[in-house]
A and B are shown apart, each in its own frame.
Chain A
Amino acid sequence: MNRPYRMLQNGEAVPRREIPELSLERFQQELLGGIEDGWRVVSYFGAAEGNAVRLYAVLSEKMEGVLGVMTALATAREIPTLTPYAPQLHLFEREIAEQFGLVIEDHPWFKPVRFAPPLATPLGASAGKTPKIGLMDFYRVEGTEIHEVAVGPVHAGIIEPGHFRFQCFGEEVLHLEISLGYQHRAVERLVQGPLTAVTRKRMETVAGDTTIGHGTAHTMVVEALGGGRVPARAQAIRAVALELERLANHTGDLGAISGDVGYLPTASFCGRIRGDFLNLTAELCGNRFGRDLVVPGGVAFDVSGDLAGKMAGRLQKAFDDVANAVDLLWETPSVMARLEGTGVVSGETALEIGMVGPAARASGLNRDIRRDHPFGIYAMSHIPVETARAGDVYARTLVRWLEVEKSVEFIQEQLTHLPGVAFQYPAGAIAGDSLAVALTEGWRGEICHVGITDERGGFARYKITDPSFHNWTGLAMALREGQISDFPLCNKSFNLSYCGFDL
C-alpha cells in the first residue's frame, strides 16, 4: 500500500514544503501502518515551530532502498503514545517529550531520557524542574527474596558513566533498567544556527570512536543541502577510513570480549593490533581517529599510489595478526562454552525494538545501511552483509570477526583501484528551508543525521541518532533471565556508546 511519505534517497535533500503535512492522528496512523508494512523508524523527532511542535518521522524501506519522511504539527501538550503498538518508538517518544516539554499519554515507560533541560517549550513548560540526573522511580520487583543491585555511574573499569539497576533473584536477573544522560553536552542545541567551522568538529566527536561514521553522515547532510558533487576518489577514501574505523573497533572489541572471559592471549594481541589499524587511519590524515579527514566536498587529504601500496601491505600484516589472535578464541573450548548461549536477544525482540548494526545482525536481522541505502562508493562497490542467528555473545563476536574479514577485502580492493584524480570539489552554499537525511553504517550500526534549515540556510534543527540509541534496550533485554555475572560480558559484546546516546 502506498504511504503518503515524501520518498527520498540516502543523502538527499528535499524542500520543506514538499514534505507531506498530515494531521497528528493521520500521522500516527501512517507511522504505525508503515511499521506494519515493514518500514523501520530511522529517526522520529520534534522541532519547535511557533506555538507548536512539529513532529518529523523518517522511515526506511530496505527492499526499495528508499527513505520516507512526513510531518505533523502537535498543537496540544498531550500526544497519545504509539509505544504499545511499536516498541521501537519508545525512546523516541520519551526523547520528544523531554526535548519539548510534551506529555506522551499512557506511555508505558514515561521517564526522562537524559535528564536534560528541554530544547524549547513552545507549548509551555512542564510542571516542576528538570529532574536531577539519575533520580527516577526505577522498576522494582517486589518479594522478600528479590534483591536490587545498583551499578555505576562510576564504574570499576575506566569506561563512560551510566547507571544500571538490576532486579535479581539470586544470581538470576529478572529485570535490568539502564539510566543514562551523564555525558549530555547539548550537541543538538550547539549545532543549531549557521554552519560554522566548529560544527564539523562537534559532529566528529559525537562519539569519538565513530569519528568517521558521524563525520561522514554530517558532511553528507551538508553536501545534500549544498548540492555539491563529491569526487569518486574522495568517496573511496572515505569508505577506506570508515572500514578502518570498523576494523580498529571490532578488533578492540574482540580483544575486550576475550579479556572479559579471562582469556588473555587474544586480549593482549588484539589490544596491540587495534593500534595498527588506528595507525593506518593516521597515515590517511595524521590523526588516529580520522579527525578532519572527511570534509564537505570530499576529503582533506589525498592518498598517493605509494601510500596506497604501503597501506595495503601493512593492512594485510595487521589482518594476519588479528586472524591468528582470533583463531585462538575459536579453538579454545572453554572460551566457546563461555560465549555460547550467554546474553541471548531473539530475532523477534531485536526486530520489535528496532536494533541496528552488528548486534542486530547477530540476532539474524539482515540490515546494513551500506547495502540497504548505499552511500558514496558503496553504491558501486558492494560489501557482503554478515549475519548470525543465535543472538548470543558468541554470535555478536562471530559477526564482528566476519565483518573484519570483509572490511579488509573491501579496503584492499579500494586501495588498488582508487578512482580519478580529484579528491575535493568546492562545497555549495547551504540551501534554505530544506530537510536532508544522511545515513551511514558506522561500526556500531546505523548513524542517522537529519538537518533542517531555516530560510537563511542555518540549521533550525539538527537531529542525530546514534546506533546506541536503538541498541541500549537490546542490552537490557539480553540480560533478562540471564546471570548477573554475565553482565560485563554482554555489555562488552554490545559495546554501546554512552556519549553518542547522551549527545
Chain B
Amino acid sequence: MIDTIVHMVLVLAMPPLLIGVIAKTKALFAGRVGAPVLQPYYDLGRLMRKGVVISDTTSWVFKAGPVVTLAATLFAALLIPLGKHPAPVAFEGDMILFAYLFALGRFFTTAAALDTGSAFEGMGAAREVTFSCLAEPTIFFALITLTRLSGTMSLTPMLQSVTLTVWTGTGASLLLMLFGLFVVLLAENSRIPFDDPNTHLELTMIHEVMVLDHSGPYFGCILYGAALKLYLMGALFANIAIPFSGGDPYLDWLIFGLSMLALAVGVGVVESVMARLKLIRVPQLLVAAMILTAFSLVLVVR
C-alpha cells in the first residue's frame, strides 16, 4: 500500500523536476546561472491559471489531443515499476500496452496538430510520425530481449529480473540495449540532437511545432505529459541500468530518485556538448539505435 502511494506521488510530482535539472545542467555548461530547478512547476502553475484561445477552424479533436495524451501517459505510469518496487498494475503482456499507450498519445497529439490546418503543425506531425515509426522497433527489440532473459511479458517481473548476475552474464547485450534505449529516450522526448525544445523556430521543430496553437491549461497538460513521458522512459532506462538493490525499501526509493536525477544530468550534458542533427540525418541515428537493440537480441538468442 505504502509502495503504491509512494509510486503515485513520485510519478505525479517528480517529472517536471527532471526538466528543471536538465535546464540547470545546460545553463551551467553554458556559463550561466540559469532558471531555478523548480521553474517548470512555476510554469505549469502559470499555464493552469491562464485563459485559452481556440481557433474557429478546430474541432473537438483539438481539445481532446492534450487530454487523451496526458490520460494515456498517466495510465502508462501505472504499469512501469520504479526501481525495485513493483508497479501498481501488472499483468502478462502489459509491456505491449505500455508501448502502445504512448502510441495512442502520439496519435492524438498529431491528430490535434492536423486539426488546426496549419502548415507548420502539419509538417511537425509528419516529422513526428516518421521518426516514431523508426523509434518503435527499438523499444520492441529491447522488450523482446528482456522477455527472452526473464521469460515473462510483464514489465514488473521482467525489469526486476535484471540483477547483477544477469549483467555479468549478458552485459554486452544489455549495454547495446541501453545505448539504443537512450537514443530513443532522447528522440521520443524531443531532446537535442533530435529536436531542440528551446529554439522557438517554427520551421525546425518537431514536437514543439505540433502544439503551437495550444494555450493555457491545454498547453500545461502537454508540457506536463511530456515531462511524464520523459520520466517513464527514464524509469525504464534506469531499471535496466541500475541492477542492484539497497536491501531496504526506503533506500531503494532513494536510489531510484537519485538515478533519475543523474539521468537528467546526463541528458543535460549530451545536450550541452553537441549540436542538433540535420533533420535528414535523424532517421540514420534512429536506425542505428534499432540495429544496436537488434544485435542485443541476437546476442541473447544465440
Q: Which residues of A contact B (CB under 8 A)?
A: 147-151, 156-157, 170-171, 258-265, 267-269, 272, 332, 334-335, 337-338, 342, 483-489
Contact of A488 among B26, B30, B120, B203 (CB under 8 A): B203
Question: Given known contacts A147-B119, A262-B192, A484-B203, is B275 in contact with A268 (CB within 8 Å)?
Answer: no
29 sample A-B contacts, Cβ–Cβ < 8 Å, listed by A number:
A147-B122, A148-B119, A151-B202, A156-B200, A157-B200, A157-B201, A171-B279, A260-B201, A262-B192, A262-B275, A262-B276, A263-B275, A264-B26, A264-B29, A265-B29, A265-B31, A265-B272, A332-B273, A334-B193, A334-B275, A337-B275, A338-B275, A338-B277, A342-B278, A483-B279, A485-B203, A485-B278, A486-B278, A489-B204
Q: How far is the CB of B236 from chain A (nearest CB, A)?
A: 25
Within 8 A of A (CB), among B269-290: 271-281
Question: How does the 8 Å CB contact mask read for B23-37 relative to A, with 1 for contact and 0 for none?
Answer: 000100111100000
Question: Closest 3 interchain pairs by CB?
Answer: A262-B276, A268-B30, A261-B275
Residues of chain A within 8 A of B204, CB atoms compared: 260, 485-489
Query: Using an 8 Å CB-CB cutoff, how does the interface string of B195-226 with A read, 1 for contact, 0 for none?
Result: 01011111110000000000000000000000
B300 contact set on A, CB distance < 8 A = none
Please indicate the chain B residues that have their CB under 8 angstroms from the CB of A484 in the complex: 123, 203
CB-defined contacts of B29 to chain A, threshold 8 Å = 264-265
Assess whether B275 is in contact with A151, with CB atoms less than 8 Å apart.
no
On chain B, the residues within 8 Å of A148 by CB distance are 119
Contact flag A149-B32 (CB < 8 Å), given A334-B277, A483-B278:
no
Inter-chain contacts of A267 with B (CB < 8 A): 30
Query: Do A263 and B203 contact each other (CB < 8 Å), given the known contacts A147-B119, A149-B123, A150-B119?
Result: no
CA distance A140 to B281 in the complex (A): 29
Shortest CB–CB separation between residue A230 and chain B, in angstroms? 42
Instruction: State A253–B159 Cα separation when bound (angstroms).
Output: 48
Using CB atoms, name the residue of chain A closest to B208: A156
Q: Does B192 lie within 8 Å of A337, measured CB to CB?
A: no
Q: Which residue, B31, B201, B271, has most C-beta atoms of chain A within 10 A?
A: B201
Give every chain B residue within 8 A of A262 (Cβ-Cβ).
Answer: 192-193, 196, 198-199, 271, 275-276
Asked, given contacts A263-B275, A264-B26, A264-B271, whether A487 binds B203 with beta carbons under 8 Å apart, the answer is yes
**Interfacial chain A residues near B279, Cβ < 8 Å:** 171, 483, 485-486
Residues of A close to B123: CB separation below 8 A:
149, 171, 484
Number of interface residues of B (CB under 8 A): 31
B residues 183-199 touching A (CB-CB < 8 Å): 192-193, 196, 198-199
Q: Measured between alpha carbons, how far is A260 from B198 in the docked complex, in Å?
A: 10
Q: Which of B203, B271, B280 has the most CB of A within 10 A?
A: B203
Say whether B281 contacts A337, CB under 8 Å: yes
Smallest CB-CB separation from B282: which chain A residue? Answer: A485
Write out the residue numbers on chain B whose beta carbons fall within 8 Å of the beta carbon of A272. 31
> Which residues of chain A come closer than 8 Å to B120, judged between CB atoms?
149
Contacts of A483 in B (CB 8 A): 278-280
Closest chain-A Cβ to B241's Cβ sits at a distance in Å of: 24
A152 to B277, CA, bound (A): 25
Q: Which of A171, A261, A265, A269 contacts B276 (CB 8 A)?
A: A261
Give CA–CA (A487, B196) in the complex, Å. Answer: 15
Q: Is there an interface contact between A149 and B276, defined as CB atoms closer than 8 Å?
A: no
Contact check: which of B119, B122, B274 meets A334 at CB < 8 Å? B274
Chain B residues 250-294 with CB under 8 Å of chain A are: 271-281
Which residues of chain B (107-125) have a CB below 8 Å from chain A?
119-120, 122-123
B30 pairs with A264, CB closer than 8 A = yes
A156–B202 CB distance below 8 A = yes
Q: Which residues of A lie under 8 Å from residue B119 when comparing CB positions?
A: 147-150
Q: Tell me, in angstroms, the Cα distance from A264 to B268 when the chains sit together.
A: 11
Given contacts A151-B202, A151-B203, contact A269 B275 (CB under 8 A): no
| Shortest distance from the beta carbon of A469 to any chain B beta carbon, whole Å | 24
Q: A156 to chain B: which residues have CB within 8 Å?
A: 200-202
- What residue of chain B has the Cβ atom nearest to residue A149's Cβ? B119
**Given known contacts A157-B201, A260-B201, A334-B274, A265 and B281 CB-to-CB distance under 8 angstroms:** no
Q: CB-nearest residue of chain B relative to A258?
A: B275
> By the criterion CB–CB under 8 Å, are A268 and B201 in contact?
no
Cβ–Cβ < 8 Å partners of A269 in chain B: 30-31
Residues of B near A157 (CB, < 8 A) are 200-201
> Could you say which residues of chain A place their CB within 8 Å of the CB of B26?
264
A338 contact set on B, CB distance < 8 A: 275-278
Q: Which residues of A contact B193 (CB under 8 A)?
A: 262, 334
A275 to B119, CA, bound (A): 37
Complex Cα distance A149/B209, Å? Answer: 13
Let me know if B199 and A259 touch, CB within 8 A.
yes
A483 to B279, CA, bound (A): 8
A269 CA to B31 CA in the complex, in Å?
A: 7
Residue from the set A258, A267, A484 with the largest chain B CB neighbour count within 10 Å? A484
Q: How far is the CB of B32 from chain A (nearest CB, A)?
A: 5
A265: chain B residues at CB < 8 Å are 29-31, 272
Q: How far is the CB of A267 from chain B (nearest CB, A)?
A: 7
Chain A nearest CB from B10 CB (Å) reads 29
Nearest chain-A residue to B122 (Cβ)? A147
- Inter-chain contacts of A268 with B (CB < 8 A): 30-32
- List, in ascending order, chain A residues with CB within 8 A of B192's CB: 262
A335-B275 in contact (CB<8A): yes
Cα separation A149 to B31 with both chains bound (whole Å): 37
